[in-house]
Structure 1
Amino acid sequence: MTLDQTLRQRLDERRRRNLYREVKTLDSVPGPEARVNGRELLTFSSNDYLGLATHPEVIRAQQAGAELGAGTTASHLVNGHLQVHQQLQYSLAEVTGREAALVFSSGYMANVGTLCALLGRADNIISDKLNHASLIDGARLSGANSLRFPHNDLIGLDRQLRRAASRGGNILVAVDGVYSMDGDLAPMAEIADLCREYGAWLMVDEAHGFGVMGSEKFPFAGSCTAAGLDQSQAPVIMGTLGKAAGNAGAFVAGSRELIDYLVQFARTYIYTTGMPPAVAAGCVAAVDLMRRQPELTRRLESNIAHFRHCARQLNLPLADSPSAIQPLLLGCEETAISISEQLEKRGFLVSAIRPPTVPAGTARLRITLSASHNHHQIDALLNALAEVLRENKAVHL
């Protein structure tokens, strides 16, 4: 069989199982309205939690950053590291309450590069079963002994820590702070306690926590800080700049020794062209806006509370999510696609998430909220959603 025949067969199988993915082309970045295929839609599928992707100050900063050059022309270690990158790293370390930070081109590269730099065949990595794909792939590529525990199951984690300790070698526990498809939080304080008991290192993916939650002192640092953990308790945190910061790229933050080590050993940092200066400048502006305009976070919190309150009044089945990610589990892939398509016809863009992104039998609508939404828009979505679900008898209302 030729390559194309093999690929066609595999694609046909994915279509048959209602798992085929298609790319939607938008005329511009949604904020929160978007024009898709000539139609104006209200978008509830973006990770732009604070509305900074279309903020005029962020856009102006990127335009000014582009004056430094379209690209960095080489890796950070060759000659691609500029003052604006250094400024961004200082700002990220400060806002997360860590000693230092290092920027990467994406969250995927940050997670894979960090895990492969920290772990080897003699070591152990323990992962939550619902971890992001980048943590899963980093665990595989590191060559370390890989163990998993059921989602947010502390007894399961303790069991795997005991297994890893009996084997010997370093132990790293990797979890998402906020889970990207379920929207729930990891029990960070309890996980940190177990890590301390077994002498394990804790790495937390703060992709969906950075910028939208934290402590009184560090209000945008993420779920670790919100749970009261400091650098010694959560020594490795990764945050993305393409979600709450509305831009692109990612960072790892921790001790100065950690960052120095990653500069020397993280292959996804060493062997790739540096972040474009326009992106770095936009990220600097976004982080500055987070700090100057805390009302953005308060507006997001208000929208989450409003959504959940009104959804309960409509008897919509809510997941236990306190975050901007509000999944509606439908189970069946075909149902999820159909409901998403019907919502689009009514003027709403809501993504249907199916395996392998989520476990089999847990297809869902992934509704995401932003500070740029207003209560009227949220009410309109909920009413349309209730109407579509009732018409399709998808859930009992």
Structure 2
Amino acid sequence: MSKAGFETRAIHAGWEPDPSTGAVIPPIYATSTYKQDGVGGLRGGYEYSRSANPTRAALESTLAALENGERGFAFASGLAAEDTLVRALCRPGDHAVIPDDAYGGTFRLFDKVERVWGLEYSSAPVSDVDAVRAAVRPGQTKLVWVETPTNPLLTIGDIEALAGIAHEAGALLIVDNTFASPYLQQPLTLGADVVVHSTTKYAGGHSDVVGGALVVRDLDLAERIGFHQNSMGAVAGPFDAWLTLRGLKTLALRMERHCDNAERIVDLLVSHPAVSEVIYPGLPEHPGHDVAARQMRRFGGMISFRHADGAEAALRFCERTRVFTLGESLGGVESLVEHPGQMTHASVAGTDLEVPDDLVRLSVGIESLPDQVADIEQALA
């Protein structure tokens, strides 16, 4: 299965048809505990569903297969995955480097939770290899944490180059692959040590489940994460795992449509007088275009743009769309619009990570393209 195509792995990895019934889809194992065949006699390694659950195990195996990793771990949310990872790999007094335009929830986790615990951090632009190198503290930095593309400014980091910087310093490279999804980008094959996902987004794909994931290629690292996953307990429940598995089966098809629609909407925005800047890695003028073209299959379904008439006009645009629903999150089949400065990234207001107040972020769904285009045009009019 490891050599099969992405679409085949998305459908078949992690589960064989049930030998007793022939069921081709994993059932939802809604159980908290398991009968043991004598003290310590576990059936298939299952004893308690915080430690392991067959539905979650199927999801974790599928995620590992899609990211070309050795082990996957499914969590109750993306932030639960991030917190578990930090606690597994760092100790008070250690240091991490994070993006200077990190997702607001990630920034809040590092600044308000991990920093109080004793972890120090610095921020640097993921697109600037020299800046990341300068932010690393040899002997103290344990994690170089990047998003590529970043949320919401769609900055691109060179994963292979950043892996080299992290490893030279004895640190690990962590890549949040949520915006790209495993279909468009596999960071582990480029040298990353851990991939992070909010599976709420493109992996689940239908805005009906919250979840997170980690995928690694080193088994010793997997043991450390697995211990903390079980000890901290923020695991994905069986129904959430089942919904995410269902979403992954159509990920390739959905991502192609997300990309198709996004590229056409970018064309519209670039030529519109009410738009001062379009931020999309597929544009040749995007500073990270060449790197994105090298490490991504396509450029994704996320678009950010700046309204030429300023912050109030950006807010009005967000309130006027109809096909694009005003709401947080991203990566679902439906199109979403948001104002990062007052919504997903309100936590970075007043800091060095503050985003422009005229910025609008679009998560382009898979609706009919003419309907999407007409909605953008009327909201900009």
TM-score by length of 1: 0.67
- SS of equivalent residue, structure 1 residue 354: helix
Instruction: Give the match for residue 260 of structure 1.
Output: 223
Summarize deviations over 1:342-386 as a string: whole Å, max 9, x none: 335x9864322225256164342211112x222202221231133
Please state which structure has a larger fraction of its residues in helix. 1
Would the alpha carbon gap of residues 175 and 89 (structure 1) be closer, same or farther in structure 2, given more than 3 Å must change? same
Would the alpha carbon gap of residues 109 and 85 (structure 1) be closer, same or farther in structure 2, given more than 3 Å must change? same
- Distance in 2 (alpha carbons) for counterparts of 1:379 and 1:277: 38
Instruction: Give the match for residue 82 of structure 2.
Output: 111
- Distance in 1 (alpha carbons) for counterparts of 2:115 and 2:33: 31
8 Å Cα contact 1:353-1:366 kept in structure 2: yes
Q: How does 1:1-397 map to 2 (within 5 A)?
A: 65=27, 68-69=29-30, 72=32, 78-80=48-50, 81-136=52-107, 137-138=109-110, 139-140=114-115, 143-150=118-125, 152-161=127-136, 164-165=137-138, 168-214=139-185, 221=186, 224=187, 229=190, 233-245=191-203, 246=205, 247-254=209-216, 255-266=218-229, 270-272=231-233, 274-290=235-251, 294-315=252-273, 316-322=275-281, 323-330=300-307, 333-344=311-322, 349=326, 350-355=337-342, 356-357=346-347, 359=354, 361-370=356-365, 372-387=366-381
8 Å Cα contact 2:85-2:225 kept in structure 1: yes
- Distance in 2 (alpha carbons) for counterparts of 1:191 and 1:382: 37
8 Å Cα contact 2:126-2:155 kept in structure 1: no
> What root-mean-square deviation, in Å, do the aligned CA atoms of Structure 1 and Structure 2 show?
3.0
8 Å Cα contact 2:129-2:162 kept in structure 1: yes
Identical-pair percentage: 16
8 Å Cα contact 1:85-1:277 kept in structure 2: yes
Alignment length, in residue pairs? 299
Displacement of 1:124? 1.9
Displacement of 1:333? 4.4
- Distance in 1 (alpha carbons) for counterparts of 2:165 and 2:126: 15
8 Å Cα contact 1:110-1:251 kept in structure 2: yes
8 Å Cα contact 1:179-1:208 kept in structure 2: yes
8 Å Cα contact 1:72-1:273 kept in structure 2: no
8 Å Cα contact 1:185-1:321 kept in structure 2: no
Gaps (5+ residues) in structure 1?
A: 1-60, 215-220, 388-397
- SS of equivalent residue, structure 2 residue 213: strand
Q: Which letter maps to 2:302?
A: I
8 Å Cα contact 2:56-2:237 kept in structure 1: no
- Distance in 2 (alpha carbons) for counterparts of 1:90 and 1:348: 33
TM-score by length of 2: 0.69
Q: Which letter maps to 1:96?
A: E
8 Å Cα contact 1:112-1:134 kept in structure 2: no
Displacement of 1:143? 1.9
- Distance in 2 (alpha carbons) for counterparts of 1:329 and 1:313: 13
- SS of equivalent residue, structure 2 residue 175: strand
- Distance in 1 (alpha carbons) for counterparts of 2:245 and 2:321: 36
Displacement of 1:123? 2.3
Summarize deviations over 1:195-254 as a string: whole Å, max 9, x none: 23333210111122224412xxxxxx4xx26xx50xxx2111111211112243111111
Displacement of 1:112? 1.3
Deviates more, 1:251-260 or 1:177-186: 177-186
- Distance in 1 (alpha carbons) for counterparts of 2:145 and 2:324: 39
Q: Which letter maps to 1:148?
A: S
Summarize deviations over 1:140-197 as a string: whole Å, max 9, x none: 2552332222453322212112xx11xx335310111221212333232332232233
Summarize deviations over 1:294-327 as a string: whole Å, max 9, x none: 3332222211211112222334334332332211
Q: Which letter maps to 2:162?
A: I
Deviates more, 1:96-105 or 1:242-251: 242-251
Would the alpha carbon gap of residues 160 and 381 (structure 1) be closer, same or farther in structure 2, given more than 3 Å must change? same
- Distance in 1 (alpha carbons) for counterparts of 2:91 and 2:140: 9
